[in-house]
Structure 1
Amino acid sequence: MILVTGATGLVGSHLLVQLLQENEEVKALFRSEKQIEKVKNVFAFHNQTALFDKINWVKGDITDVPTLEIAFEKVTHVYHCAALISFDPSDEEELRKINIEGTANVVNCCIDFGVKKLCHVSSIAALGTPKEHETTITEETDWNPEELHSDYAITKYGAEMEVWRGQQEGLEVVIVNPGVIFGYGFPKRGSDVIIQSVKKGMPFYTKGSIGIVSVKDVTHCMIQLMKSSINGERFILVEENIETKKLLTFIANILNVKSPTIKATKTMTSIAWRLDWLLAKLLNRKRKLTQNTAAASHSTSVYDASKVKLEMEFIFQKKEEYLTTILQDQSLF
């Protein structure tokens, strides 16, 4: 029996489709019944509506141990996809509770219930920082606590520490570190924020680059890793390191809208995040741009996914295939 946490999110919902296509018996952890409708849409997108009824839904929360223990009954393998993604400093406490404490709870249950293997979905945000003379980031790049990190990055790194603790206590584990994940079904969240910004005619771009990957590749790789004998390893999942302007232009061309033409300098983004801070205070709203996200938008670091290509003989889908499919499906918008 397989348990998927975060089953109503982007990775979790697409993972459910593939697991059920492979005739696996699956439990799916959910918090709100309203979110289940989005999972239905994902199954319809894949023409697998008939498989949706085979999901064994379990209401629970990774921060609520009693409900989590109920979900873990008779479970042998766990895909831990649940996490909070936020770059707003005001969400620090919730990020720590969900991403670190929640992962600790999942790991503890895996150990207590004798789970055979755990796959943890981390992020490239949890990877190390290249040294001054370096530009490439690998799975072995050291995490530098002295560097400026977002609360999200810190909590995803902390979550990985809980997973490694589990391994030290005898649990088999694998970790995937995907870049920005593109996939169908979750408008105005995650990568779709980028798509919507371009569609609305965003005029600005930065000189930075971004690591991207399709949700299909993320889920395929997760399943392959879980079926393999690999234990105690992490894998970067990035199909392409692409300049931000090129990505935005690619999206704009498919949507038939104007592409960004104004380069935002570091000075401009520095002013912008300060103005956003002020507006957030005055209007009592969430931050849209922070010091961390502004700095990250200028990063030209390259994420090296050669490990998964070599060890798993994994071949990534090209953006021309998966992004075109997503962007041409107007129901996403």
Structure 2
Amino acid sequence: MILVTGGTGLVGAHLLVTLTKTEAVVRATRRADSDLKKVAQIFSYYSDDYTKQFQKIEWVVADINDIPALELAFEGITQVYHCAALISFNPKDYSKLLKINAEGTANMVNLCLAFKIKKLVYVSSIATTGKELHSDIVNEESEWTNKDANVYALTKYEAEMEVWRGSQEGLPVVIFNPGVILGPGFWNSGSGLFFKSAAKEYSYYPPGGTGFITVNDVVKLLILGMNSTIDKERFIAISENKTYKEILYAICENLKIASPTKELKLWQLQLLRRLDWIRSVLTNKQRKITGNTVKSLSENKVYNNKKLVETFNYEFEALDKTIAFSCRKFKEES
């Protein structure tokens, strides 16, 4: 039996779509307040007759830090995909991020060991990869430093340390570090904000870039990692290194709207950061642009996926295909 955490998120929902097409028995955790209609909607993207497939999932209400509920979720499980995480770059959310990402992963590792799980596949992030001293090209061996790391990266790194601890205690593990994951259905968070932002037809685009990958590729790689004999390895999972300008242009082209034409300058980003801080103080609302946000939007890191490609002999699907599909769904729902 397979257990999926984070089944109500972008990766988890798409993973459930694929797993329920097989004969595997699939269980997924969810919070008490989570919306399963959103997950069912993801299923509807890929099949007209999706209801029976969706009903194959055995849902268990279990918060990532609720040990008794998780123990019930682990009964009879042999494989675990740990996709649950909180994504935030707001320093005020550090305690919450640490609780969910790091402590929650520690709980998962401990239960995997206690229930003698055959393998744990963990979805991390390229945010936890290091830097090269004299190069912008990053690989799995690049040295990690917490200097200038955002709160999300710090807690995901701590989560990875828990997974490695589990591996030292005998738990077979594989870690994937995906870049920005593009896919349909979650327009108010993560990469969904690219589509929502593009639809507003802003004139400006961020100057930097990063590694991107489709959600379908992430799912295929997770399953390949699980069903392989690979153990104690991590893989940077990106299909292409792209600028934010290129991604926004592709989205705007598919939405048939005007593309942004002006690059945001560093001083403009810094001004927006200060204005956002004032807004946060006056309204007590969360920060949207922090110093680390400015740094991230300005950087143009290049991620090396050679290890993954050679290990799995993997060919990625085109980003343009997923962007086009996502734009169709976005237009239908907007």
TM-score normalized by the length of structure 1:
0.97
Q: Distance in 2 between matches of 1:260 and 1:122?
A: 31
Q: Distance in 1 between matches of 2:97 and 2:83?
A: 14
1:93 to 80, 95, 113: 95
Q: CA RMSD in A?
A: 1.1
1:33 is displaced (CA, Å) by: 5.3
1:161 aligns with 161
1:34 is displaced (CA, Å) by: 4.4
2:106 aligns with 104
1:170 aligns with 170
Task: Tell whether 2:4 aligns with 1:38.
Answer: no
1:3 aligns with 3
- Could you tell me whether the CA contact under 8 Å between 2:2 and 2:79 is conserved in 1? yes
Q: Distance in 2 between matches of 1:49 and 1:127?
A: 39
Matches within 5 A, 1:16-31: 16-31=16-31
1:207 is displaced (CA, Å) by: 2.3
Q: Distance in 1 between matches of 2:202 and 2:128?
A: 29
Deviation per residue, 1:10-57 (Å, 9 max, x gap): 111110111111221111101135411111111111103321111111
1:67 aligns with 69
2:221 aligns with 221
1:274 is displaced (CA, Å) by: 1.5
1:179 aligns with 179
2:268 aligns with 268
- Could you tell me whether the CA contact under 8 Å between 1:110 and 1:118 is conserved in 2? yes
Secondary structure of 2:40's aligned partner: helix
1:293 is displaced (CA, Å) by: 0.9
- Could you tell me whether the CA contact under 8 Å between 1:14 and 1:42 is conserved in 2? yes
Deviation per residue, 1:167-187 (Å, 9 max, x gap): 000000000111111112212
1:268 is displaced (CA, Å) by: 1.4
1:137 aligns with 138
Task: Tell whether 2:280 aligns with 1:280.
Answer: yes
Return 5+ residue gaps in structure 2 as ranges.
none
Deviation per residue, 1:228-265 (Å, 9 max, x gap): 00000011111111111111111111111111112111
- Could you tell me whether the CA contact under 8 Å between 1:187 and 1:332 is conserved in 2? no
1:82 aligns with 84
- Could you tell me whether the CA contact under 8 Å between 2:8 and 2:34 is conserved in 1? no
Q: Distance in 1 between matches of 2:119 and 2:316?
A: 24
Q: Distance in 1 between matches of 2:176 and 2:226?
A: 11
Deviation per residue, 1:61-83 (Å, 9 max, x gap): 11111111111111110000000
Greater CA deviation, 112-121 or 319-328? 319-328
Deviation per residue, 1:260-309 (Å, 9 max, x gap): 11211112111211210111110111111111011111111101111111
2:116 aligns with 114
The runs of 4+ residues in structure 1 deviating greater than 3 Å are none
- Could you tell me whether the CA contact under 8 Å between 1:184 and 1:332 is conserved in 2? no
- Could you tell me whether the CA contact under 8 Å between 1:205 and 1:261 is conserved in 2? yes
Matches within 5 A, 1:195-214: 195-214=195-214
Opposite residue 324 of structure 2, the aligned amino acid is T
- Could you tell me whether the CA contact under 8 Å between 2:209 and 2:241 is conserved in 1? yes
Secondary structure of 2:27's aligned partner: strand
Greater CA deviation, 44-53 or 161-170? 44-53
Aligned length: 331
